[in-house]
């Protein structure tokens, strides 16, 4: 599928006239995937070290002249010289109603204090690592899928991503496609390394080759039979969950039904969870 790289037009980004933001980083590229989703890359502060899967606070100056910041998963791997983000466009959202208009050369604010639970260190060793995401919840896994350490620690990595419509899957689909010829990963793990990354994209409100909620495809066993894998079990499988609160709660219950336990940085176990956004409770 060919993807259009739309160029921002109309509304001016709010910072174009104010180039000296605190903790400023410069936008190096912007790509619009749908009218609700876009990704962008910015310069990386020389001092910023992070673990793939972590998030930082980023934003713009608000109308009151104070920083308007929101949590964002870093979508690029920790070896990348730039930082990538994958973002929703909330029409009336305080930040994203403005952020969606950024252009190359603009500045954003980036607080260089990465944190988060979706890190490899929070999981016990295992055979397979499952990334379970809806919507922009794929962002931390866009980082982890590109990190050689994920394949160092696990024989197989499974990316399940579910969205309402097929076009909302395109960011992840293109990323996985590009990984097949990723120079770093093929150099370390050989030409066939990509066979260790299993991709299972599904839609729920538009026909596509694979359909259904992640929870349903796991409880029915469909994803395991489609991918030729055994049912999830605490001996072999580890997982990371990132979606809405309701999604996280439901997936957590499914994983616990398979005998997996929730862990944390301080106490690694079989799975970890992080909200992809706050709001719209259960």
Q: Is 185 left (phi over 0), alpha (psi -120 to 50) or beta?
A: alpha
Q: Point out which span in 49-57, 112-120, 162-170, 227-235 binds ligand A2P (CB under 6 A).
A: 162-170
Q: Point out which span in 14-22, 107-115, 241-249, 263-271 binds ligand A2P (CB under 6 A).
A: 241-249
| 282 vs 245: CA distance, rounded Å | 6
| 193 vs 196: CA distance, rounded Å | 6
Judged by CB under 6 A, the residue of 70, 153, 164, 173 near ligand A2P is 164
The interface partner of residue 205, options being ligand FAD, ligand A2P, none and the CB cut-off 5 to 8 Å by kind, is ligand A2P
Q: Point out which span in 38-46, 142-150, 160-168, 267-275 binds ligand A2P (CB under 6 A).
A: 160-168
Q: Which long-range contacts link 218-221 to residues 24+ away (Cβ below 8 Å)?
A: 218/251, 218/254, 218/258, 219/254, 219/257
C-beta of 126 vs 137, nearer to ligand FAD: 137
First to last CA, the chain: 35
C-beta of 118 vs 232, nearer to ligand FAD: 118
Judged by CB under 6 A, the residue of 154, 247, 260, 272 near ligand A2P is 247
What is the nearest approach in angstroms of ligand FAD to the Cβ of residue 261?
22
Listed in sequence order, the residues at least 6 apart from 135 whose beta carbon sits closer than 8 Å to its beta carbon are 88, 163, 168, 243, 244, 276
Q: What is the DSSP letter of 192?
A: G
User: Which residues of this protein are in contact with ligand A2P, per CB under 6 A?
Assistant: 134-135, 162-164, 204-205, 213-215, 244, 246-247, 250
């Amino acid at each position: 599928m060919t993807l259009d790289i739309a160029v921002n037009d109309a509304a001016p980004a709010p910072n174009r006239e104010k180039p000296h933001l605190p903790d400023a980083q410069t936008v190096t590229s912007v790509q619009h995937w749908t009218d609700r989703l876009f990704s962008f890359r910015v310069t990386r502060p020389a001092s910023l070290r992070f673990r793939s899967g972590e998030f930082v606070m980023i934003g713009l100056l608000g109308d009151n002249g104070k920083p308007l910041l929101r949590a964002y998963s870093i979508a690029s791997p920790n070896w990348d010289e730039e930082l990538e983000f994958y973002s929703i466009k909330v029409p009336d959202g305080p930040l994203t109603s403005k952020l969606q208009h950024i252009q190359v050369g603009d500045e954003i604010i980036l607080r260089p204090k990465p944190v988060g639970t979706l890190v490899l260190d929070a999981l016990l060793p295992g055979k397979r690592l499952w990334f379970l995401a809806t919507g922009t919840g794929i962002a931390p896994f866009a980082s982890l899928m590109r990190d050689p350490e994920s394949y160092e620690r696990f024989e197989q990595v499974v990316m399940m991503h579910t969205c309402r419509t097929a076009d909302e899957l395109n960011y992840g689909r293109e990323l996985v496609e590009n990984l097949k010829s990723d120079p770093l990963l093929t150099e370390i793990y050989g030409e066939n390394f990509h066979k260790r990354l299993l991709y299972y994209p599904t839609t729920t409100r538009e026909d596509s080759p694979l359909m259904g909620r992640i929870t349903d495809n796991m409880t029915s066993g469909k994803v395991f039979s489609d991918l030729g894998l055994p049912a999830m079990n605490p001996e072999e499988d580890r997982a990371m969950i990132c979606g809405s609160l309701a999604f996280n709660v439901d997936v957590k219950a499914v994983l616990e039904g398979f005998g997996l336990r929730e862990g944390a940085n301080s106490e690694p176990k079989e799975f970890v969870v992080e909200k992809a956004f706050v709001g719209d409770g259960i």
